[in-house]
Amino acid sequence: MKFLLVEDNLDLANAICSRMQLDGHVIDHAETLGDATAFSEVGEYDLILLDIMLPDGDGRTFLEHHRAGKMDTPVIVLTARSQVSDRISMLDLGADDYVTKPFDHAELKARCRAVLRRRAGNSQTVLSLADVIFDPVAGNLKVEGNTVSLRNRELRLLELLMNAPGQIFPKQKLVDRLFSYDDDVSENAVEVYIGRLRKHLENTRVKITTLRGLGYRLDHD
């Protein structure tokens, strides 16, 4: 998954980024409202983690504009405010959840997973398609009773495809979803990860189809 973190506390931001990246997520970091707006206008994110008190304004302004623009990317607010009225206000503005600082990083990750499952209309973590069972939290794939451990970007690429079987993903879109703006990569990098996933899936009824000039699609018999 690709996240946008809006947080001006660099120590906290670095800790969140490190833990999310260890789980295989791609994360862009914005320190200000201005940066957050710029990122959200040009990038596509699965989830936004939003601090409220920022150097150039209140994160609630970003949230209001985000929802007013009909953007439905889920938002989890990171806040030091513990008053019930503050939490209600943020939920009413369109936040999907909130975490009160200081928080345990395991709780934050669990809340991220819960919000993403709700948005997908799925209460289950494990995904299945034909004879393939995929657990993005455990980071493994079950094929014919055998468990295959996936590397981080293989994991996130398969998660994208498994969540939208039959949908065509252009190479550039996959680059945008698998890498942050700080990564210097080309579309050829996607071919490497597609090739690895095909090897894992070669004895299954699930396959990744190349559509010349268009991109890739996950199909099954």
Q: Where are the domains of the chain?
A: 2-119, 127-220
The predicted structure's pLDDT at residue 55:
94
* One fold for 2-119 and 127-220: no
Q: Is the pLDDT of residue 199 over 90?
A: yes
Q: Is the pLDDT of residue 120 over 80?
A: no
Q: How confident is the model at residue 180 (pLDDT cuts 50, 70, 90)?
A: confident
Q: Which residue has the higher pLDDT, 161 or 152?
A: 161
The predicted structure's pLDDT at residue 198:
96
pLDDT, mean over the chain: 89
The predicted structure's pLDDT at residue 90:
84
Alpha-helical (H) ranges within 23-138 are 33-42, 59-68, 84-93, 105-119
C-beta separation of 33 from 10 below 8 A = no
The predicted structure's pLDDT at residue 165:
93
Q: Which residue has the higher pLDDT, 87 or 122?
A: 87
Residue % of the chain over a pLDDT of 70: 97
Distance CA 111, CA 215 (A): 32
Q: How confident is the model at residue 124 (pLDDT cuts 50, 70, 90)?
A: low
Q: Which residue has the higher pLDDT, 68 or 201?
A: 201
Range of 67-71, 94-98, 183-187 with top mean pLDDT: 94-98
Second-level CATH architecture of 127-220: Orthogonal Bundle (1.10)
Distance CA 164, CA 186 (A): 23
The mean per-residue pLDDT over the stretch 31-59 comes to 92
pLDDT tens digit sequence for 47-93: 999 999 999 999 989 999 888 877 889 999 998 876 778 778 888 88
Q: How confident is the model at residue 24 (pLDDT cuts 50, 70, 90)?
A: confident
Q: Are strands 215-220 and 47-51 parallel, antiparallel or unpaired?
A: unpaired
CA 211 to chain CA mean position, Å: 25
C-beta separation of 196 from 154 below 8 A = yes
The predicted structure's pLDDT at residue 122:
58
Residue % of the chain over a pLDDT of 90: 52
CATH superfamily of 2-119: Response regulator (3.40.50.2300)
Q: Is the pLDDT of residue 127 over 70?
A: yes
